[in-house]
Amino acid sequence: MAAPQSSLPGKVIIIGAGIAGASVAHAFARRGIAVTVLERAQPACGGSGNPVAVVRAEPGGAHHPIAALSAAGVLWLINWIAQHGQSVPHDFCGVLRLTRDARRHNKLAELARTASADWLRELSQEAASALCGQPVADAAFLLPQAGWVQPVALVNALLAHPLITLQTDAAVDSLLQDDMQRWQLTLADGSKLETALLVLASAFAAPLLPLAYGIASARGQLSCLPERAGKSLHMIVCRDGYITPAINGIHTIGATIQTNDDYAHARLADDAENFERLQSVLPDFVTDAAQLQSGRVSWRGVTQDRLPLVGKMAEGLYASLAHGARGITCAPLCGEWLAASMLGEDSPLSAEWQRLLDPLRFIKPD
Ligand SMILES: Cc1cc2nc3c(=O)[nH]c(=O)nc-3n(C[C@H](O)[C@H](O)[C@H](O)COP(=O)(O)OP(=O)(O)OC[C@H]3O[C@@H](n4cnc5c(N)ncnc54)[C@H](O)[C@@H]3O)c2cc1C
């Protein structure tokens, strides 16, 4: 889809080559617009570098923003992978969702009665256990269209376009807007770049921007469990955390959430926490916490309403930030939406979404 010449912006620069930056870059490139992505280290070295991500809608009805965004994100990703992303390891194998309490169970049960069965289905404990191949702790809801993808491969596939120039080891140290409203970027090696159109996809706005945009940091640790004979799991099972089927011989169990915690190494206590998560969904799957091995540690940018910051921040400055716990699911759609709205195209998301995702919504008036 090539953009008409008159609507082509000048050079677009994107800061960050995680799922958010790669998605915006891809959306511009497939419209025929060249972009440069600046990445301080390597693509998918931040939150997007986990070995696996669960792609699932948060059940909650069309009026619930997180439910609606995640549902749209899942559908967008399923379609994109089917058309362009066959090289990305993935399996939309379905997710079994157990609920935390009776109130939530009843809410989902009500939803399941009106939702189409290929979207949400209530299952007895026996039926859920039979479907996933292991005894689950409780009755469950099946999300047939959910599954997993390998985020690093997805990021690389999105970036693999001749109109995308990726500069690695290119940390942006500071941003300044000049009198002509162009953005001046200074990189860590002292080199300078300028652009009229800049997209911040660095997960966090700080320290590049001075204002507080309401993004907190939440550390997350995964745990791993080697596949064992006679213990095969056919789909993802989740409650507060999740366990995946064995992928390349390893189940992934996740994930801890610790706000404002910079500790970069794995902790045994976090594996114990993930073991508890696993027990709450599959109580007989592993009996000894020591069987879990520490997985990757990374950080999410999170907001209090659990929605990302996507849209215009200032003249020539746009954001796709703070994708929280659902970035692999939702950032690709957000990238498409952001590029479309920057180019004045009809948006795949409604005007109401512009308000909900407004990157300035948490800035306190003076
Ligand atoms: C433990 C854990 C488990 C998760 N599980 C799931 C899941 O199952 N499903 C799901 O959908 N989501 C999941 N998420 C959320 C998802 O991983 C994130 O929302 C997503 O990766 C965020 O992508 P991003 O591109 O915004 O940020 P990142 O992937 O962090 O990318 C930001 C990039 O910007 C670069 N950068 C930052 N500052 C600069 C600078 N100044 N100059 C140049 N480059 C810079 C960084 O190096 C980085 O590569 C999980 C997150 C965590 C932490």
**Which atom of ligand 1 lies closest to the CA of 256?**
1
CA 238/CA 140 separation, integer angstroms: 9
Q: Where are the chain's structural domains?
A: 5-48+153-214+305-357, 95-144+216-302
CA 109/CA 103 separation, integer angstroms: 10
- Which stretches of 30-175 are DSSP H helices? 65-84, 102-114, 125-132, 151-159
Question: Residues with beta carbon inside 6 Å of ligand 1?
Answer: 15-21, 38-41, 45-48, 50, 53-55, 171-172, 201-203, 208, 220, 222, 254-255, 298-300, 323-329, 331
Q: How far is the CA of 201 from the centre of ligand 1 (A)?
A: 9
CATH class of the domain at 5-48+153-214+305-357: alpha beta
Of the residues 13, 24, 50, which should be mutated to test ligand 1's pocket, given the most ligand atoms within 8 Å of the CB?
50
Which residue bears the tokens 């794995």?
266
| Mode of pairing for the β-strands spanning 35-38 and 164-167 | parallel
Q: How far is the CA of 246 from the centre of ligand 1 (A)?
A: 23
- 10-12-13-18 Cα dihedral, nearest 10 degrees: -170
User: What are the tens digits of pLDDT across the range 218-277?
Assistant: 999 999 999 999 999 999 999 989 999 999 999 999 999 999 999 999 999 999 999 999
Topology alike, domains 5-48+153-214+305-357 and 95-144+216-302? no
What type of residue sits at position 204? F
pLDDT value of position 346 = 80
Q: Which DSSP category does 247 fall into? A: B
Note the pTM of the prediction, 2 decimals: 0.96
Which residue from 357, 325, 346 is spatially nearest to 256, judged by alpha carbons?
Answer: 325
Q: How many CA atoms lie within 13 A of 308 on its CB side?
A: 34
Residues 6+ apart with CB under 8 A from 274: 221, 222, 223, 241, 253, 254, 255, 256, 292
* Number of neighbours of residue 210 by Cβ within 10 angstroms: 8
Residue nearest to atom 14 of ligand 1 (CA): 325
Whether the CB-CB separation of 96 and 126 falls below 8 Å is answered with: no
Average pLDDT of the chain is: 93
User: What are the tens digits of pLDDT across the range 69-86?
Assistant: 999 999 999 999 999 999
Of the residues 26, 45, 48, 213, which should be mutated to test ligand 1's pocket, given the most ligand atoms within 8 Å of the CB?
48
Q: Which DSSP category does 6 fall into? A: G
Q: How far is the CA of 106 from the centre of ligand 1 (A)?
A: 33
**Which atom of ligand 1 lies closest to the CA of 19?**
25
pLDDT value of position 3 = 45
CA 293/CA 268 separation, integer angstroms: 9
Q: Strand, helix or coil at 114?
A: helix
Q: Please tell me which residue, 301 or 107, carries the higher pLDDT value.
A: 301
Question: pLDDT grade, residue 5 (50/70/90)?
Answer: very low
pLDDT value of position 366 = 57
Which residue bears the tokens 């512009």?
354
Q: Does domain 95-144+216-302 have CATH number 3.20.20.100?
A: no
